[in-house]
Amino acid sequence: MNENTQDMKEQGQQTEQPMEFEKALARLEEIVRKLEANDTPLEQSLKLFEEGVALTARCNALLEKAEQQVSMLVRGQDGTMTPAPMPK
Amino acid sequence: MNRQPGREGDVLTVSQLNAIVKALLDNEPLLSHVMVRGELSNFKYHTQSGHLYMTLKDEKSAVRAVMFASSAKKLLFRPENGMKVIVEGRVAVFERDGQYQLYLTGMQPDGLGALHLAYEQLKAKLAAEGLFAPERKKPLPKTPFHIGVVTASTGAAVRDIIHVLGRRFPAAQVLLYPVLVQGPDAPPMIVEAINWFNERHAADVLIVGRGGGSIEDLWAFNDESVARAIAASAIPVISAVGHETDFTIADFVADLRAPTPSAAAELAVPDSLTLRQRLSNVNVRMADLLLRKTSAGRARLETLSAHWALRQPEKLLDEKRLVLDGLSQRVLQAQQTRLERGRQSLSLTAGKLSALSPLGVLERGYSIVLRRDSPVRRADELAVGDELTLRFAKGEVQARVTKTKEQQ
């Protein structure tokens, strides 16, 4: 699974990150709405809160990147394009 | 050729005549390269060969003209009837018809520049196809983690894009597809790059562009194939042609038009800091809401426990007992009443019964006279010496008739 993901990235394949991030944001909005609702029982509110904290942590982790990754596609002998690190 | 042309008495064939005229014209340096101004009419595009046939005219006269496919391909605009043009070419004779005509190598719109005209024509054509329609525009992803860049690998444009993306949203991976951005090879490369990203879903958003330049420099972004590739892209495209005032055709078809490459990068990604701030705000808000919820719960609990029923539960019991007492009282009462009523109706019935009973009559002091166990109702039924039984309310006696009286 991990190797696959790595392969996909190397071929320039899109991963699930933006979906995951935007889904997380949407879910967070939903959680806040539910917490705002008066009829959400305390027990459920606690669970929503825990889920929300985990989601924000996950989103922060996705944003966490020490250095920007820039690749440039290079045309090979057979004409296929392969990503290589961008020359500075 | 034995016969010298023009000599008196010679008779020429038609072919000979045409050949002579052709040779004359071909040898005239003035006609080997001419530029002519005129209006197009009878314009015909031969679809199979790609050659263009037309008549060039002014107020007084007309001349036929042809442009072969090799030259026609290079035209930036579509010639149309009525269009004022300046053509370039040579004059020669079409021997078969004995007609001289213009063999064109170039054509310019008269007045407007060719590029400008081509631009207007393509714009009108694509607009008519609906390629610029707002409803066609795809929404940009809010948080693209993969950004495809289609531009030259060197120069300010790519540097600016990478710089801005790195500053705003370093979490995003940038993938550059290097292309030529001017010259005749630029459009096919740009098209290939856009298609490459789409075939592999290799980006969440594409930035396609170049730095500023003259209208000729930017020409690749007014190319029809580039415009169509952008329109067909499933991945949202931000156009980034560094020419703030004028729009290229690419700008019209793109999902979002940025005035410069750096502006495109700004528009492509959210600001990480803002995003983090938002996440932290969400955390604070959630904690706040939860706190409010628990304190609301606590307040309700306090209100409830402050209620007298909970503080003095025996009072609640007393209350209930009172109600219970009241209820049982009423039940008893009801039973009593019913009993009383029953008793009354019973004695009433019993009274009626005793009034009818012979025993009741006897009770009131009467007695029954029986003779041989039959009641005696008349005195004249009896005779002296008859044995009688007298029954009283209590007990009976035997008696004998001693004397009778005559009834009146």
Q: What is the pLDDT of residues B72-114, one digit of tens each?
A: 988 888 888 888 899 999 999 998 889 999 999 999 888 766 7
DSSP E strand stretches across B251-334: 256-258
User: What is the average per-residue pLDDT within A23-30?
Assistant: 88
Chain B within 8 Å of A82 (Cβ-Cβ)? no
> Please, which contacts does B125-132 make with residues 24 or more away whose CB atoms are closer than 8 Å?
B126/B224, B126/B227, B126/B231, B126/B249, B126/B252, B126/B253, B127/B252, B131/B227, B131/B228, B131/B231, B131/B252, B131/B253, B132/B252, B132/B253
Six token digits for residue A63: 């944003």
Q: Are B56 and B36 in contact (CB under 8 A)?
A: yes
Structure-model confidence comparison of residues B333 and B158, the more confident one? B158
Q: Do B276 and A18 touch (CB under 8 A)?
A: no
Name, in order, each residue with C-beta under 8 angstroms of B205's C-beta and a sequence gap of 6 or more.
Answer: B140, B141, B144, B147, B148, B235, B236, B237, B238, B268
Q: Do B146 and A70 touch (CB under 8 A)?
A: no
Angle separating helix axes B224-232 and B186-200, nearest 10 degrees: 10
Using CA coordinates, name the residue in chain B closest to A54: B283
Q: Do A72 and B287 touch (CB under 8 A)?
A: no
Residues A33-69: pLDDT tens digits? 888 887 888 888 888 888 888 888 888 888 886 578 8
Partner-chain residue, chosen from A31, A56, A70, that has the shortest CB–CB distance to B279: A56
**CA of A39, closest CA in chain B: separation in Å?**
10
**CA of B190, closest CA in chain A: separation in Å?**
13
- Predicted confidence at residue A64, as pLDDT, reads 81
Residues B17-40: pLDDT tens digits? 999 999 999 998 889 899 999 999
Residue (of B249, B244, B215) closest to B231 by Cα position = B249
For residues B249 and B247, give the distance between their C-alpha atoms in angstroms, rounded to a whole number: 7
Chain B within 8 Å of A42 (Cβ-Cβ)? yes
Chain B within 8 Å of A45 (Cβ-Cβ)? yes
Chain A within 8 Å of B146 (Cβ-Cβ)? yes
Length of chain A: 88
Residue (of B145, B291, B121) closest to B205 by Cα position = B145
Residue (of B98, B95, B73, B86) closest to B34 by Cα position = B86
Q: What angle do CA B230, B233, B234 make, to 5 degrees?
A: 155
pLDDT band at B8 (very low <50, low <70, confident <90, very high): low
Structure-model confidence comparison of residues B292 and B3, the more confident one? B292
| E strand or H helix at B113 | none
Q: Do A63 and B272 touch (CB under 8 A)?
A: yes
pLDDT band at B363 (very low <50, low <70, confident <90, very high): confident
Which amino acid does the sequence have at B138? K
Chain B within 8 Å of A24 (Cβ-Cβ)? no
Residue (of B359, B330, B117, B156) closest to B241 by Cα position = B156
**CA of A65, closest CA in chain B: separation in Å?**
5
- The ipTM of this complex is 0.75
List A53's β-bridge partners, or say none: none
Q: Do A62 and B145 touch (CB under 8 A)?
A: yes
Residues B125-151: pLDDT tens digits? 999 999 999 999 999 998 999 999 999
Q: Are A12 and A83 in contact (CB under 8 A)?
A: yes
Domain boundaries, chain A: 2-85
pLDDT band at A9 (very low <50, low <70, confident <90, very high): very low
Structure-model confidence comparison of residues B152 and A41, the more confident one? B152
pLDDT over 90 percentage in chain B: 46
List B371's β-bridge partners, or say none: B374
Residue (of B22, B79, B23, B87) closest to B58 by Cα position = B87
Instruction: Look at residue A12 and tell me whether its pLDDT is greater than 50.
Output: no
Q: Do A40 and B290 touch (CB under 8 A)?
A: no
Chain B within 8 Å of A21 (Cβ-Cβ)? yes
- Predicted confidence at residue A13, as pLDDT, reads 42
Helical H segments across B169-268, by residue range: 186-200, 224-232, 249-253, 261-268
Instruction: Look at residue B403 and tell me whether its pLDDT is greater than 80.
Output: yes
- Predicted confidence at residue B404, as pLDDT, reads 83
Using CA coordinates, name the residue in chain B closest to A61: B171
For residues B259 and B214, give the distance between their C-alpha atoms in angstroms, rounded to a whole number: 15
Q: Are B55 and B39 in contact (CB under 8 A)?
A: no
For residues A30 and B124, give the distance between their C-alpha atoms in angstroms, rounded to a whole number: 45
Chain A within 8 Å of B392 (Cβ-Cβ)? no
Which amino acid does the sequence have at B123? K
| E strand or H helix at B301 | helix B272-306
User: What is the average per-residue pLDDT within B285-289?
Assistant: 84
Residue (of B102, B104, B99, B106) closest to B91 by Cα position = B102
Residues of chain B contacting residue A14, judged by C-beta atoms under 8 Å apart: 146, 200-204
Instruction: Look at residue B56 and tell me whether its pLDDT is greater than 90.
Output: yes
Chain B within 8 Å of A88 (Cβ-Cβ)? no
| E strand or H helix at B83 | none
Size of interface A-B (CB pairs under 8 A): 116
Average model confidence (pLDDT) across chain A: 77
| E strand or H helix at B234 | none
Best mutation site among A72, A74, A82 for testing chain B: the one with the most B CBs within 10 Å? A72
Residue written as tokens 């007492």?
A: B325
Chain A within 8 Å of B298 (Cβ-Cβ)? no
Helical H segments across B85-217, by residue range: 114-129, 156-168, 186-200
Residues of chain A contacting residue B144, judged by C-beta atoms under 8 Å apart: 18
- Predicted confidence at residue A4, as pLDDT, reads 40
pLDDT over 70 percentage in chain B: 87
Average model confidence (pLDDT) across chain B: 86
